[in-house]
Each structure stands twice: as structure tokens, then as C-alpha cells.
Structure 1
């Protein structure tokens, strides 16, 4: 099977996977499959020949069009994951502060003047 056709199939699978959207719960299998598809795609890109027939050029144009849709979707999903992680970090800090509200205060209640 020609390398361009393999790349087209992998890109279609990636497009279908990303188009389903990032699940709200149980994201690990989704992200693992996404990484697997991206790794396969990278390997297929590296095995591409230098000269292409007309059919391969047409398939390449289809790959480029799908990629124009895949990139913004991946960027949006990445931002969503980053946002969720920052929310979790904030919640963790707030929980620690709630559990021990006097942790950051000095032990004896004295005030230290920082001016000299």
C-alpha cells in the first residue's frame, strides 16, 4: 500500500477521533488513542517518498484539508485540559487552606517590621 494512502487513512482516523470531542469523564483512553494516532501519523509522514503521482497529490490535498480542521480542534482540547488542570490546582490549594487556615501565620502572633 502506498505511503500516502496509509497516511490518509491514519489522518481520517485522527480526524474522526478528534471530531468526537474531549470527553468530560475518563479522558485517559481518549488521550492514549490520540497519542497513538499522532505517533502513527508521524511515522507515516517520515516514510513518504519525494515524488508523487496525481492520485497521491489529490490524497495529499485531502490530508491538508483535514489537517486544517484537526489543528484547531487539538488546540482547543489542549487549552481545555490546561484549564481543567489549573482549576484542579486551585481547588487543591483552597482545600489545604481550608483544612489548615492558620498555616501561613506566624506561630506566636508577633508582627515583624520589614523596614530597617
Structure 2
């Protein structure tokens, strides 16, 4: 059960890190720390025996709630990253259109008249 204690401790450490504000500068280090904690937690989780038969109901519920909070925080941080990537892609497209305004025009120049 020593692995269980270290798993819970690592999970709480991950939750504390995810509760910190998502930095504007230095996001790479923040994300690297999240990945490091997740990997360490996964190593400990792989060492754990089947917990469904060993744990009492209260501990199971606490772990489920903790896991739920962590997944919510991870989804929130993922949304920030996706938004930043979307904004970056829009800026890149706008920049490309500004540099080459005629780059996306159709080459055939065909016009169809829909009259009968």
C-alpha cells in the first residue's frame, strides 16, 4: 500500500500544479512539468495491484473525485492551448494573405451563368 500513498501524493501534487494560473510566458515549462508529473504518476499506477478489491468505499470515492477534478483542470488547460494555436493559425493565414493577396485565387477564371 506504500505505492497507493505515493500515487495519492503525486496526484495531489499534480492537482496543485494544475490549480496554478496558466502562465502567458513560460508555458513550455508549465506544460513540461504537467507531463513529468503525469508520467511519474503513471509509473506508480502501473505498480499498483488491482485496487477495486483492496480499497474501502470512502477511499475509492475520494480517488474518483480527485481524478475528476484533475481531468477537468487538464481539459481547461487544453482549451487554453487550443485557443492559442487557433489564434496563431489565424495570424499566420492573415500574414500570408497580406504578403500574397492573389495566392488563393482560382487559376481557371471560369464563370458560369445560371440563366437558361
SS of the residue corresponding to residue 64 of structure 2 reads helix
CA distance in 2, matches of 1:81, 1:103: 29
CA distance in 1, matches of 2:3, 2:110: 71
What residue is the counterpart of 1:37 in the other structure?
37
8 Å CA contact 1:18–1:74 kept in 2: the answer is yes
Runs (4+) off by over 6 Å: none
CA distance in 1, matches of 2:87, 2:44: 37
Q: What is the Cα deviation at residue 59 of structure 1? A: 5.1
Deviation of the 1:105 alpha carbon = 3.5
Structure 1 pair 44–60 and aligned structure 2 pair: CA distance change class (3 A): farther
Could you tell me the TM-score, scaled by structure 2's length? 0.79
Q: 1:42 to 1:106 in 2, by over 3 A?
A: closer
Give the root-mean-square deviation of aligned CA atoms: 2.5
Judging changes above 3 Å, is the alpha-carbon distance between structure 1 residues 114 and 12 closer, same or farther for their aligned structure 2 residues? same
Does the CA contact (< 8 Å) of 1:3 and 1:49 recur in 2?
no
Counting matched residue pairs gives: 111
TM-score (norm 1): 0.79
Instruction: Give the aligned partner of residue 87 of structure 1.
Output: 87
Corresponding position: 1:71 with 2:71? yes
Aligned position for 2:110: 112
**Relative contact order: is structure 1 or structure 2 higher (C-alpha 8 Å, sep ≥ 6)?**
1
Gap regions ≥5 residues in structure 2: none
Give the gaps of 5 or more residues in structure 1: none
